[in-house]
């Protein structure tokens, strides 16, 4: 949190605790500078932030006063974290690098176990696609991307009861590109965007790149974002877009219940706020029923831009993703043409070929079963090796476990100690632009439960006890 945000937060608390009542004159800028030791500019920014939130009013030549009817304050259990500047901690890069080293147990990695995918079958599709590729295919597959592939994706939407036309879909280089382009399509630099807290670090990076301001909405480990806190945020900030995951959220593994998804989409449609849905883990459900995306509650596709990819379910290295962008599809195509031009053509053709054959569903059934068995094994291993007070999430899909170690146990220290013993973990501070989640870690449960991984969990458990 920046210094002026800290000052604004402390003034906000004072108003909340009725130290200052509606109509009271707040300390002058000069007085505040003297008391806090901050510069005039920093103090002014704090007062302006409170003004933009409807908590104080400026009276020319007189100063700042508590608003006669200050906007209701959120209760402290769902405090919003506004952040005018999202700066990504440098640690993320180091943490991702460490996850690449094969000598290191990659519990901190975001990638699923590479051996879970039908490599030989994909290799055949890739070889056949390259053999059949026409010299004109680079041009033919410019945005929105390969038509066969878009039609196969549209058919999968139709199987879930969603009408998405192939022309509403833009193929991208993984979901990362579809999410970034969607954000670019619906915001201008300086706009406010609501994100989850904790959030996938890719969100924080995209927001930083686009120079947006973020409001972090508290997110429950089981049911996802707090809708009341989101309603508060919509009332206080001119939010242009939201970036949320409704299924197997990264890093918590949270999934929103159906009725919550419906209420969320209705709330955003009413406010005219675009919803960028990151749904990269949608195929990795353990139950019998495929969870609906938020897009299912937006039949016209006018609110939700649904972003997904094959990276987590079929072909991690192929870098093929898409966005079902509805009315935004044309703008997204133009933005793609002006940036990366198009997704790689051979991998698009290979996936179009693969999806035409039967086999994807059988692969997905095997993959889900393996991920569930591995999650159970790792969950039990953690229960046995870690102190009892450590809480462990139990997602119904995906491959992340979120652990809260308990106050006073610093995940960064654990990260350093674990890395020295050849184990990577993802410490909680990777998932926030603020300073929360210091006692949390995310572990990747997609790896086979063998002696090496069991030993690594036991080592982590011992390190946690020693913290
Ligand atoms: C939540 C989330 N969104 C998006 C991505 C990026 O997906 P892709 O590899 O398809 O670009 C990831 C990858 O880790 C992710 O975890």
Whether residue 348 is found in the same domain as residue 368: no
Residue closest to 200 by CA, chosen among 254, 139, 158: 254
Residue 401 φ/ψ, nearest 5 degrees: -115, 135
Fill in the DSSP letter of residue 33: H
308 lines ligand 1 (CB under 6 A): no
Q: Which atom of ligand 1 is nearest to the CA of 173?
A: 11
What pLDDT, on the 0 to 100 scale, is given for residue 71? 65
* Whole-angstrom distance, CA of residue 258 vs CA of residue 271: 20
Predicted TM-score (pTM) of this structure: 0.83
Instruction: Provide block-wise average pLDDT over 10 residues at a time, the chain (467 residues).
Output: 82 80 88 87 88 86 85 52 63 76 92 96 95 88 94 95 96 98 96 96 91 95 97 95 98 98 98 98 96 97 97 96 97 95 95 94 98 98 97 98 94 94 94 91 97 98 96
- Alpha helices by DSSP H, listed for 196-257, are 201-209, 227-236
Whether residue 214 is found in the same domain as residue 338: yes
pLDDT, tens only, 213-240: 999 999 999 999 999 999 999 999 999 9
Whether residue 38 is found in the same domain as residue 162: no
> Rg of the chain's alpha carbons, rounded to an integer?
24
- 314 in any annotated domain: yes
Whether residue 111 is found in the same domain as residue 124: no
Whether residue 207 is found in the same domain as residue 305: yes
Q: Give distance in angstroms: CA of 174 to centre of ligand 1.
A: 7
What pLDDT, on the 0 to 100 scale, is given for residue 89? 55
The tally of domains found in the chain comes to 3
Q: Which regions of 115-262 does DSSP assign to beta strands (E)?
A: 169-172, 192-197, 213-220, 224-225, 239-244
* Whole-angstrom distance, CA of residue 29 vs CA of residue 19: 18
- 80 in any annotated domain: no
With the most atoms of ligand 1 within 8 angstroms of its CB, the residue from 111, 112, 174, 276 to mutate is: 174
311 lines ligand 1 (CB under 6 A): yes
What pLDDT, on the 0 to 100 scale, is given for residue 416? 93
176 lines ligand 1 (CB under 6 A): yes
Whether residue 375 is found in the same domain as residue 387: yes
At 238, which CATH number? 3.40.640.10
Whether residue 233 is found in the same domain as residue 373: no
* Whole-angstrom distance, CA of residue 412 vs CA of residue 429: 8
377 lines ligand 1 (CB under 6 A): no
- 81 in any annotated domain: no
- 86 in any annotated domain: no
What pLDDT, on the 0 to 100 scale, is given for residue 74? 46
- 79 in any annotated domain: no
Q: Give distance in angstroms: CA of 167 to centre of ligand 1.
A: 23
- 82 in any annotated domain: no
Kindly state the tokens that stand for 96: 């991702």
Q: Give distance in angstroms: CA of 414 to centre of ligand 1.
A: 25
Inter-residue contact 193 to 199 (CB < 8 Å): no
- 255 in any annotated domain: yes
Q: Give distance in angstroms: CA of 206 to centre of ligand 1.
A: 12
Coil, strand, or helix at residue 286? coil
What pLDDT, on the 0 to 100 scale, is given for residue 52? 81
With the most atoms of ligand 1 within 8 angstroms of its CB, the residue from 173, 176, 205 to mutate is: 176
Inter-residue contact 301 to 164 (CB < 8 Å): yes
Here the contacts of 201-204 (C-beta below 8 Å, separation 24 or greater) are: 201/88, 201/92, 201/430, 201/431, 202/176, 203/179, 203/243, 203/278, 204/86, 204/88, 204/432, 204/433
Whether residue 22 is found in the same domain as residue 95: no
Q: Give distance in angstroms: CA of 280 to centre of ligand 1.
A: 6
At 444, which CATH number? 3.90.1150.10
Whether residue 201 is found in the same domain as residue 334: yes
- 42 in any annotated domain: yes
* Whole-angstrom distance, CA of residue 437 vs CA of residue 408: 11
Inter-residue contact 274 to 305 (CB < 8 Å): yes
Nearest CA to ligand 1 atom 1: 250
Nearest CA to ligand 1 atom 16: 250
Residue 239 φ/ψ, nearest 5 degrees: -75, 130
What pLDDT, on the 0 to 100 scale, is given for residue 8? 87
Whether residue 146 is found in the same domain as residue 210: yes
Domain that holds residue 347: 118-360
At 14, which CATH number? 1.10.10.10
Question: Which of 312, 344, 360 finishes a domain?
Answer: 360
pLDDT, tens only, 34-56: 888 888 888 998 898 888 888 89
Whether residue 67 is found in the same domain as residue 125: no
Whether residue 97 is found in the same domain as residue 67: no
Question: Which of 300, 333, 360 finishes a domain?
Answer: 360
């Amino acid at each position: 949190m920046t210094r002026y945000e800290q000052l604004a937060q402390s003034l906000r608390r004072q108003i909340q605790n009725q130290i200052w009542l509606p109509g009271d004159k707040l300390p002058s800028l000069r007085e505040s500078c003297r008391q806090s030791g901050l510069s005039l500019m920093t103090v002014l920014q704090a007062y302006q932030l409170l003004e933009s939130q409807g908590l104080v009013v400026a009276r020319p030549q007189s100063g700042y006063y508590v608003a006669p009817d200050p906007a209701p304050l959120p209760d402290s259990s769902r405090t919003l974290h506004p952040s005018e500047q999202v700066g990504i901690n440098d640690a993320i890069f180091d943490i991702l690098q460490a996850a690449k080293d094969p000598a290191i147990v990659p519990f901190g990695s975001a990638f699923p176990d590479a051996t879970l995918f039908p490599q030989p079958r994909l290799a055949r599709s890739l070889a056949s696609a390259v053999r059949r590729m026409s010299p004109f295919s680079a041009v033919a597959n410019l945005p929105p991307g390969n038509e066969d592939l878009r039609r196969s994706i549209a058919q999968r939407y139709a199987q879930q009861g969603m009408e998405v036309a192939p022309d509403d879909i833009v193929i991208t280089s993984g979901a990362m590109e579809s999410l970034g382009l969607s954000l670019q399509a619906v915001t201008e630099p300086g706009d406010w965007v609501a994100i989850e807290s904790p959030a996938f670090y890719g969100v924080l990076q995209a927001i930083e790149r686009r120079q947006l301001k973020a409001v972090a909405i508290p997110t429950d480990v089981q049911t996802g974002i707090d809708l009341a806190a989101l309603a508060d945020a919509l009332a206080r900030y001119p939010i242009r877009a939201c970036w949320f995951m409704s299924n197997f959220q990264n890093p918590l593994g949270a999934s929103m219940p159906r009725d919550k998804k419906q209420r969320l989409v209705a709330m955003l449609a009413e406010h005219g706020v675009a919803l960028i849905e990151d749904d990269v883990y949608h195929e990795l459900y353990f139950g019998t029923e495929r969870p609906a995306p938020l897009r299912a509650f937006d039949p016209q596709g006018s609110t939700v831009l649904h972003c997904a990819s094959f990276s987590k379910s079929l072909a991690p290295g192929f870098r093929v993703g898409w966005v079902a962008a509805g009315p935004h599809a044309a703008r997204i195509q133009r933005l793609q043409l002006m940036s990366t031009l198009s997704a790689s053509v051979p991998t698009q053709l290979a996936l179009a070929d693969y999806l035409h054959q039967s086999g994807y569903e059988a692969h997905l059934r095997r993959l889900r079963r393996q991920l569930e068995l591995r999650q159970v094994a790792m969950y039990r291993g953690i229960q046995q090796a870690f102190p009892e007070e450590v809480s462990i999430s139990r997602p119904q899909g995906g491959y992340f476990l979120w652990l809260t170690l308990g106050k006073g146990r610093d995940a960064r220290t654990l990260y350093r100690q674990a890395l020295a013993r050849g184990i990577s973990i993802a410490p909680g501070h990777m998932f926030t632009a603020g300073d929360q989640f210091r006692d949390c870690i995310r572990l990747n449960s997609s790896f086979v439960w063998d002696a090496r991984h069991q030993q690594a969990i036991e080592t982590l458990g011992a390190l946690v006890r020693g913290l």
